[in-house]
């Protein structure tokens, strides 16, 4: 069983990515505390090339950003050698967002890692499961522009 390689994440076993905590909460290699519950899932880009790439972007509301991320509130996950298992949109979530403008379409419920190479992301409107051999975590000042590919809002 292959184990995904992580870049941009602390190697500290108490603060890094574990199969118990997944990608929901951890620290970067520069000691920035990433807590996805305080972010909004904003963007997904899938590029089916060689290797297939999946990029996920999460953005902190200025009110909830940790001090060390106030200038770089965008958390970017770039997965390589991706094999999609499930991509399911939650129609009830979409209906709720349509009828209630204050509903949180990008609220992160769960972002798990199985300890090998399977990742699972649940948001208010999306369920995504995929395998990846490598993940790189970075923080940015503002979202990158959307490249032509399959995208999710």
Q: pLDDT digit string (tens) for 6-19?
A: 999 998 888 888 87
Tokens of 98: 């349509």
Q: What 3-state DSSP class applies to 114?
A: coil
Of 98, 86, 83, nearest to 122 by C-alpha is 86
pLDDT at 146 over 70: no
- The boundaries of the domain holding residue 133 are 5-152
Of 123, 101, 124, 38, nearest to 75 by C-alpha is 38
Do 128 and 86 touch, CB atoms closer than 8 A? yes
- Higher-pLDDT residue of 99 and 20 is 20
Tell me how many domains the chain contains.
1
Q: What is the pLDDT of residues 7-57, one digit of tens each?
A: 999 988 888 888 777 888 899 998 899 988 889 888 999 999 899 999 999
The structure's pTM equals: 0.84
């Amino acid at each position: 069983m292959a184990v995904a390689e992580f870049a941009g994440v602390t190697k500290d076993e108490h603060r890094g990515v574990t199969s118990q905590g997944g990608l929901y909460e951890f620290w970067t290699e520069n000691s920035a505390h990433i807590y996805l519950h305080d972010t909004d899932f904003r963007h997904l880009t899938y590029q089916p090339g060689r290797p297939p790439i999946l990029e996920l972007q999460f953005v902190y509301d200025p009110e909830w950003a940790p001090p060390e991320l106030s200038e770089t509130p965008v958390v970017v996950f770039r997965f390589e050698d991706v094999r999609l298992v499930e991509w399911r949109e939650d129609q009830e979530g979409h209906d709720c967002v349509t009828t209630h403008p204050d509903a949180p379409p990008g609220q992160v419920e769960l972002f798990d890692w199985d300890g090998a190479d399977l990742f699972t992301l649940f948001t208010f409107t999306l369920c995504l499961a995929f395998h990846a051999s490598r993940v790189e975590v970075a923080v940015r000042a503002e979202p990158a522009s959307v490249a032509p590919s399959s995208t999710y809002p």
